[in-house]
Structure formats: structure tokens, C-alpha cells
Structure 1
Amino acid sequence: MRCSVFALGFAALAACTCSPAWAERISNPIAVFAGLDKISGVTTTFEVPIGEERRFGSVIVRPKVCYTRPATEEPKTTSFVEIDQIEFGNTRKTIFIGWMFAESPGLNALEHATYDVWLTGCRDPNAPPPPVETAPEVDVPQDQIKKEGEPED
């Protein structure tokens, strides 16, 4: 009996300590969407501030949150979105409520008879730009620099 209790305790401890560390998600003030008008074949990119709404054709897109991960982590961009359709008499009918994933647009996009809408990203205009890596400068001796018009060796 003691061995089985010890084994269970050890297994529980191993499960707790071996799980991957999750990076904190970053909340962004703007969600970026793409929308396809199936009648005209035109795809449009549009931004919607969190808590506000934008009309795209006869649908209204309203993101509640938009999360990303730090640049050092695997990309994972998600947004919880509500989408209404405007019907006759200017009434609204909710046609989508749920999470959209930028890395998997086909997983939870709105597929409407006339319009498709999917998340493409999140944006924070006040966030510092990501660091840009530059190649190190290399000093080349002047006698090794080939001048224009010189024959090759």
C-alpha cells in the first residue's frame, strides 16, 4: 500500500513539474481582420478597436479581446469576437460568438453566405517596435577589395 501511495505522489509531482511554461499573453487594443465579399471577390483588411464595432457589408464585427504572445515565443494570436448580421428593418441577429485564431484562419472564421471574416492579427500602436537583428560589420583589408574594371584572379 505504501509503495502505491508513494508512486502516485511521485507521478503527481512529476506531472506538475514537467509541464511546459506558458508565456504571458499580451492584451492588444486593436484586432485586425480580413473580410471577403463573395459577390465582388474583393478582400478587405480592417481594424477594430477592442470593445468597438465595425461594419463590413451587412455584418458587424465586435472584438472583445485580442491576445498575442511575446516575439520570443511561438506565435499565437487569438480574439474573442461577436458578429451580428443586419437584417431587414435594421434589426440585428447574432451569427457568430467565439474565438478566432490568426494562425488557423479556417478553424473558427465566419463563413457567411455573402461574407467571410477572419482574424489576421492584433496590434498595439503604442508598443515598442520589435528589435531588429543586424549583421556584424566585418573589416576587409583595402587590398582585398576589388575595384571596378579590374580583371578577376
Structure 2
Amino acid sequence: MKLLTVLCAALMVPAMSFAQSSVKTKNGDIVQLRALDTITGEVEDIDLPVGDTTVYERLMVSAQDCRYPAGNISADAFAYLVIRDVREKLPAFEGWMIASSPALSALEHPRYDIWVVRCKLASEAEQGSE
């Protein structure tokens, strides 16, 4: 088990260094998430404004930050999320989730799966609603 923990930590180092690297990033206003109920197979896309919390089934999902490479909002986004099962005190997930590598830092829940799709700007969301 300790070996597994060490390996997971080693795998997360590139992800953390990407988030802290010299790549210029910009902040998105909205995190686009995809949620899967693994029992029913139902998939739902969720647009969650940064700083807000939403409820998906039994999960409370909070978006604290969303970043993307400057000049390319559709490129590899990463978001800081806190995901809590409403029946538990401690979060099921808290940390950076990377769109291109969702398994690198994933929610571990027996029924639900949530991952980052991309960041959006508020102006993008307004255009989509017209």
C-alpha cells in the first residue's frame, strides 16, 4: 500500500509542476464538468461558475479555480475542485483535476465519476444562452 501511495505521488508531480510551471495561464469564469452515474450510465454536463457550489445527485461540487493555457481556452484546462458526498464529513476529492488526464487525480467514489472538460468565460456562456 505504501508503494502505491509513493507511485501515485510520483505521478502527480508532473501535474503539479504543470500547474506551477512557466506556461502562461489565464483564469476561466466557469468550469465545465462531466458527471457520470456509473450505475445508470447517465451522463450530465455541468457548467459551474468558479466560487460556486452545485449538487449532483449525492455530491456537492465546489469550483475554486479554473485555468487554461493563455491564448487557447479550449486547450488543456485544470480546475481546483472540492467534491463531497453529502453523507460524509470529509471531501471525497479536493485538489487540481486536469482535463487531459482525469485519471491522474480522480474522484474516488463507488457510484459517481466527475471530471473536468474545459474552462469557459462568462461571455461564452452568455452567447450560448441567446
TM-score higher than 0.5: yes
Which of 109, 112, 115 is 1:115 aligned to? 112
Secondary structure of the equivalent of 1:40?
coil
Q: Corresponding residue for 1:105?
A: 102
Q: Summarize the Cα distance change of 1:125–1:94 in structure 2 as closer, same or farther, 3 Å threshold.
A: same
Q: Secondary structure at the match of 1:81?
A: strand
Q: Contact conserved, 2:74 with 2:118, CA < 8 A, in 1?
A: no
Q: Indicate the residue corresponding to 1:61 in structure 2.
A: 61
- Note if contact 2:59-2:86 (Cα within 8 Å) is conserved in structure 1: yes
User: Which AA in structure 2 matches 1:97?
Assistant: E
Identity of aligned residues (%): 25
Shift of 1:76: 2.6
Equivalents in 2 of 1:85, 1:92: separation in Å? 8
The 5-angstrom pairing of residues 1-150 of structure 1 reads 22-71=22-71, 75-87=75-87, 92-126=89-123
Distance 2:50 2:73 in 1: 23
Whichever residue aligns with residue 101 of structure 2, its letter is S
SS at match of 2:51: coil
Q: Which structure has the greater CA radius of gyration?
A: 1
SS in 2 for 1:126: helix
Flag the 1:122–1:58 CA change in 2: closer, same or farther, 3 A: same
Q: Which amino acid aligns with 1:112?
A: H
Q: TM-score, normalised by structure 2?
A: 0.71
For structure 1, the residue ranges without an aligned partner over 5 or more in a row are 1-20, 128-153
Instruction: Give the CA RMSD over aligned residues.
Output: 2.3
Provide the C-alpha distance between the structure 1 equivalents of 2:121 and 2:68, rounded to a whole number of angstroms. Answer: 10
Post-superposition CA distance 1:96-153 (Å, at most 9, x none): 11100001122112131110011111100326xxxxxxxxxxxxxxxxxxxxxxxxxx
SS of the residue corresponding to residue 90 of structure 2 reads strand
Partner of 1:134: none
Relative to the length of structure 1, the TM-score reads 0.61
Question: Which structure carries more helix by proportion?
Answer: 2
Q: What letter corresponds to residue 28 of structure 1 in structure 2?
A: G
How many residues are aligned here? Answer: 104
Return the offset for 1:70: 2.6
Letter in 1 for 2:68: T
Counterpart-to-counterpart distance in 2, 1:102 and 1:51: 19
Equivalent residues of 2:76, 2:118 under 8 A apart:
no
Which segments of 5 or more consecutive residues in structure 2 lack a partner in the other structure? 1-20, 125-130
Distance 2:106 2:71 in 1: 24
